[in-house]
Amino acid sequence: MTPAPATGRHRRAALLRAVAACLLTGGAGHAEAQSLTRDLFRPERGAFVAPQDRPLQRTTPPSGAADPYATDDDTRRDRNAQSRLSGSPNFGLQPSLGAAGTGYDALGRKRQKPKIFPGAPQPKVVGPGSPALIPAPPPPRPAPPSQSAAKPPVSAAFNGTLPGQPTRRRLKPDLEPFGPVGDYAGSFLFKGAIEVNGGADSNPGRTNKPRGSGFYKVSPELMVTSDWDRHALVADLRGSYTGYGHDFTNPPGVVSSAPLNLDRPEFDGHVDGRLDVTRDTRLLGQGRLIVGTDNPGSPNIQAGLAKYPIYTQTGVSGGIDQSFNRLQVTAIGSADRRVFQQSQLTDGSTFTNADRNYNRYAGTGRVSYELLPGLKPFVEGQVDNRTHDTTVDRFGFRRNSNGGYVKGGTSFELTRLLTGEASIGYAARTYADPRLLKLDGLLTTASLIWTVTPLTTVKFGADTTIDESPLFGVSGVLTRSYTAEVDHDFRRWLTAIGKFTYATYDYQGSSRSDRFTSLEGNLVYKLNRSLWVKGTLRRDQLDSNIVGASYNATVVMLGVRLQN
């Protein structure tokens, strides 16, 4: 029996039955029986499609190949779908289910950008607003401005830009590009230098009637520093020898305070050690050696000398430094010995300086508290005893004495622009002979460094000392000195240094009062780390209330510095 031809009404009914069967069965069994193509149900990229008009499931391409018809919306929907075997199913519409690749959100929300943590590689974008699943390696690090673009490229393995390789750590900038490097011997770093200078001095003897002379000066230096995780040992040794072109012979019948031979050595060295017993307990120690002469123009110099008598001072110190959280307590004991050579006179005789030799014993204590980071107030005190080799000096005075000081101040570090320490206090000394007056006065000490700019540095220092004197009836000399220095780098290899010094000398027991000023300028040309060239111009002047004691001098000097 031949079936009746299907009418239009029958065809529409069959189509509706097929669509209903597809919806009920999930579309898997009847997908191939449909005569409609895939393109009728899939919009073009960037167009909006309502959720009810989209297919509910796609057939996975064979052999794991990528679906050529897949869009970013399908990838997002499949990623958000929950497994039937694990997790709970999602009901209702998923957020942004109808959003296309242009970033449009059917719920009216903005597209969230993936969060990239610091140091993580940036993802590679493969479509509008769609990051790839595999992040791309970070871009190569740009070259510093100082490097030329014409240099050959650096391999990725060297600069740390290979995927999975950690980035190489940047080296710290060298703050002293022309400073000495030094050499290691075991765990010690050795830095040595020597300066050789020559020039002219208009008044090397610092007398009221100047007589100029040429001179040379050789200054060796050695710095040794330990490189240990715990404990420390540092040796700082500096010396110099100044020689003049000729002897200064006085006319017949003229007696001058300046020696005939003005050559003189100087040395200042100390070795410091620290033993870390625990994190909060440290043992401190120091050994020192000082060699020198009285300053030219000093009233302590005898008349008719053939050369300056040299003195030697040796000493040791030891103590403990204990920290109690922010409270720090330091106690140090020290012993020093100063010995003068005999004075050689122009007539060939000698004169003893045994009355100037003495032993000094001192104890120093300091308590500080870290009030704020970079602000540490302190209180410091010292008592000392000076015992001379002879009971009386050349004038019959008993010069054994007791003295000390007390001061308070703070050490600070303000944003690393102003660092240092400043204090104020009181110092006093009494003598065994009642005829020698008590020597006391205001005590000021400071050591400040102000970094104005990376190329300009200002330094300020102040110090107060009580020095011995062999003069008749003079208890001692209260010396206050103030120094200001400005360093400026025109280039890293060209530095200008300006220095101003002002000092006062108060001779207790005498009406003498001296004021000393010095203005100095230096220009340093650094050829490399090992060779510097230095020029110096200095003007010294002493104003005294004693007739014939004032002087002035001008020094011009040029030299080289070799260092390692």
Mean pLDDT by 10-residue block, N- to C-terminus, for the chain (564 residues)? Answer: 52 60 48 40 43 45 45 46 44 47 49 59 53 52 52 56 66 81 93 96 91 94 94 96 80 66 95 95 97 92 91 97 96 97 91 95 96 93 96 94 96 86 96 93 94 93 93 93 96 95 94 95 96 97 93 96 95
54, 203: one domain: no
Torsion of CA 221, 226, 232, 234, to 10 degrees: -10
Diameter over CA atoms, the chain: 165
Per 3-state DSSP, the chain is made up of helix, strand and coil in percentages (nearest 5) of 10, 45, 45
Judge whether 323 lies within some domain: yes
- Give the pLDDT confidence score for residue 414 in this predicted structure: 78
194 lies in the same domain as 50: no
Q: Whole-angstrom Cα distance, residue 237 to residue 222?
A: 5
Contacts 24+ apart (CB under 8 A), 291-298: 291/239, 291/265, 291/266, 291/267, 292/264, 292/265, 292/266, 292/267, 292/268, 293/264, 293/265, 293/266, 295/206, 296/204, 296/205, 296/206, 296/258, 296/262, 297/205, 297/206, 297/207, 297/257, 297/542, 297/551
In a domain, residue 391? The reply is no
Domain stop point among 352, 378, 410: 352
Predicted local distance difference test score (pLDDT) of residue 68:
44
Judge if 218 and 348 occupy the same domain. Answer: yes
Does residue 210 sit in the same domain as residue 76?
no
Calpha distance 437→290 (Å, rounded): 29
Please, are residues 38 and 59 in contact by the beta-carbon 8 Å criterion? Answer: no
Assess if residue 326 is contained within a domain: yes
Structure tokens, 479: 């010396």
- Domain limit, last residue, from 317, 352, 387: 352
Task: Please indicate, yes or no, whether residues 346 and 199 belong to a single structural domain of this protein.
Answer: yes
Distance CA(161)–CA(445), nearest Å, equals: 54
Q: Is 184 helix (H, G, I), strand (E, B) or coil?
A: strand
**Is 466 a domain residue?**
no
Three-class SS state of 9: helix
Which residue range(s) make up the domain with 49? 36-59+69-83
Instruction: Work out how many domains the chain is built from and give that number.
Output: 2
CA end-to-end span of the chain: 117
- Same domain, residue pair 79 and 225: no
Q: In terms of domains, do 198 and 341 share one?
A: yes
Find, among 536, 534, 539, the residue nearest to 524 by Cα: 534
Classify residue 235: in a domain, yes or no.
yes
Are 190 and 43 part of one and the same domain?
no
In a domain, residue 226? The reply is: yes
Q: Is residue 512 in a domain?
A: no
> Where a domain ends, among 333, 352, 371?
352
Instruction: Using alpha carbons, select from 533, 537, 530, 524 the residue that is nearest to residue 491.
Output: 524
Confirm whether 51 is domain-assigned: yes
Q: Pseudo-torsion of CA 200, 205, 207, 212, nearest 10°? A: -30
Question: Residue 344: what pLDDT?
Answer: 92
Q: Are residues 197 and 74 in the same domain?
A: no
Residues 325 and 189 in one domain: yes
Are the CB atoms for 215 and 245 separated by under 8 Å? yes
**SS3 state of residue 471:** coil
- Cut 0.75: pTM above it: no
